[in-house]
């Protein structure tokens, strides 16, 4: 039986502007779920604030305890809708999302619990109590780097989906984005986003 070759983690965060196939291993993430338009729903901003606050608190806690220092990973998001048509049509008020930041093995559930209590109490970020540490194994997927505004991702997503189907696979799972650029600091045309789509073997749709 042929063994599955996992893609090195560092390569998963250095996508190319042309689609490629990858196999994503099991990785640990700090996650929070929500619903609605990320541009207008205050819960989305609260979720991001809690994610970053707990991630940085964990980083400093590990370092203070004598563990290896690490860089906080980029923000990631899983996006979907109960009605797939609403997602494809860009009806953001109907979208569901899970926002995530990857964590090293040194960040344990006990670490997260302590950091959540600290952030929720000292920084009054109550959304922190909605966070969870989860191991997520995406498996076979295709990904591509999109350069430009988030609102202009449509053609890049279509290219990625066509690439998957051209290889004889079907789409599965949730639309995945990894945000390498900071919209607060970079011009929209310079934003860099990895778009990833899991796939399954089988006849194309």
Backbone angles phi, psi at 6, to 5 degrees: -80, 145
- Residue 65 inside a domain? The answer is yes
Q: What is the pLDDT of residues 5-18, one digit of tens each?
A: 889 999 999 999 99
- Residue 86 inside a domain? The answer is yes
- 79 touches 44 (CB < 8 A): no
- Residue 105 inside a domain? The answer is yes
What is the value of pTM for the model shown?
0.93
Q: Can you give the residue range of the structural domain that contains 91?
A: 9-201
Backbone angles phi, psi at 15, to 5 degrees: -70, 160
- Residue 124 inside a domain? The answer is yes
- Residue 4 inside a domain? The answer is no
- Residue 77 inside a domain? The answer is yes
- Residue 1 inside a domain? The answer is no
- Residue 2 inside a domain? The answer is no
Q: What is the pLDDT of residues 63-112, one digit of tens each?
A: 999 999 999 999 999 999 988 777 877 889 999 999 999 999 999 999 99
pLDDT score for 204: 45
DSSP state of 82: S
Number of folded domains in the chain? 1
CATH number at residue 72: 3.20.80.10
């Amino acid at each position: 039986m042929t063994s599955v070759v996992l893609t090195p983690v560092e390569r998963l965060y250095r996508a190319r502007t042309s689609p490629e196939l990858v196999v994503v291993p099991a990785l640990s993430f700090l996650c929070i779920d929500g619903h609605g338009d990320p541009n207008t729903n205050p819960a989305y901003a609260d979720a991001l604030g809690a994610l970053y606050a707990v991630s940085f608190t964990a980083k400093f806690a590990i370092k203070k305890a004598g563990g290896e220092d690490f860089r906080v990973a980029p923000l990631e998001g899983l996006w979907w809708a109960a009605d797939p048509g609403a997602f494809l049509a860009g009806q953001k008020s109907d979208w569901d999302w899970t926002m995530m930041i990857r964590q090293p093995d040194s960040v344990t559930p006990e670490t997260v619990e302590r950091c959540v209590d600290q952030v929720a109490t000292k920084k009054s970020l109550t959304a922190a109590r909605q966070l969870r540490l989860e191991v997520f194994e995406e498996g076979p997927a295709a990904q591509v780097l999109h350069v430009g505004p988030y609102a202009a991702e449509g053609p890049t997503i279509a290219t990625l989906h066509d690439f998957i189907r051209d290889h004889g696979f079907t789409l599965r799972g949730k639309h995945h984005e990894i945000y390498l650029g900071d919209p607060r600091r970079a011009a929209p045309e310079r934003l860099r986003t990895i778009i990833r789509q899991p796939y399954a073997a089988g006849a194309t749709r």
